[in-house]
Amino acid sequence: MKMLIKSNKGNNCIPPLRNSINDENFDDIVYGDEDKCDLLNKYFSLISKLEEENVSLPDFDIKTNNVINEIFVTISEIVDILKIIDPYKASGPDKISHKMLKISPEKIAIPLQIIFNKSLRQCKYPSSWKNAHVIAIFKKVIHLYLLITAQYH
């Protein structure tokens, strides 16, 4: 069972960050994950050039007459998706590994169907579904990884 549930050991990939944003903590070193997240959020918000004031949404073409609470997810649809899930992908904040989802699609499909259909029927998207693990990967690391993997294929 332990191999099916991922742990957070060794996931602390982001090194300490220096706060060089002009605010009360100027030039402090940030160590905690939540503090790093807040610092990165402040930085990307500062450099964003999006104008949100007095902007109207563009007209959208109507593609369907369906309303979200008229959509129904079936057990077979969930099972089909769980069967093709990549077991080697990282788990999310819930720490449920893809291996566990893949080995028990029929058993887990019923509770998932209840949750999904209730969400669709109530037109509510649970805030916990908006959480994710985001890891910055620098371009040089990706190029190095691609070079190494290309040599073995």
Indicate whether 79 pLDDT > 90: yes
Residue 39 DSSP SS3: helix
CA angle 100, 4, 118 (to 5 degrees): 40
Domain ranges for the chain, please list them: 11-49, 67-153
As a whole number, the mean pLDDT across the chain is 79
Can you tell me the distance from the alpha carbon of 148 to that of 141, in angstroms, rounded to the nearest whole number?
11
Q: State if pTM tops 0.85.
A: no
Output the six-digit token pair for 28.
């402090």
Please give the average per-residue pLDDT across 51-78, as a whole number: 83
Distance of CA 99 to the CA centre of its chain: 18
What average pLDDT does range 93-100 have in this prediction?
87
Instruction: Tabulate helix, strand, coil % of the chain (nearest 5).
Output: 45, 5, 50
Rounded CA-CA distance 151/142 in Å is 14
pLDDT higher than 80, residue 119: yes
Band (pLDDT 50/70/90 cuts) for residue 118 is very high
Question: Rg of the chain's alpha carbons, rounded to an integer?
Answer: 21
Output the CA torsion 153→81→70→58 (10° steps). -10
Greater confidence (147 vs 37) lies with 37
Tell me what the mean pLDDT of segment 64-81 comes to.
87
Q: Torsions phi, psi of 94, nearest 5? A: -75, -10
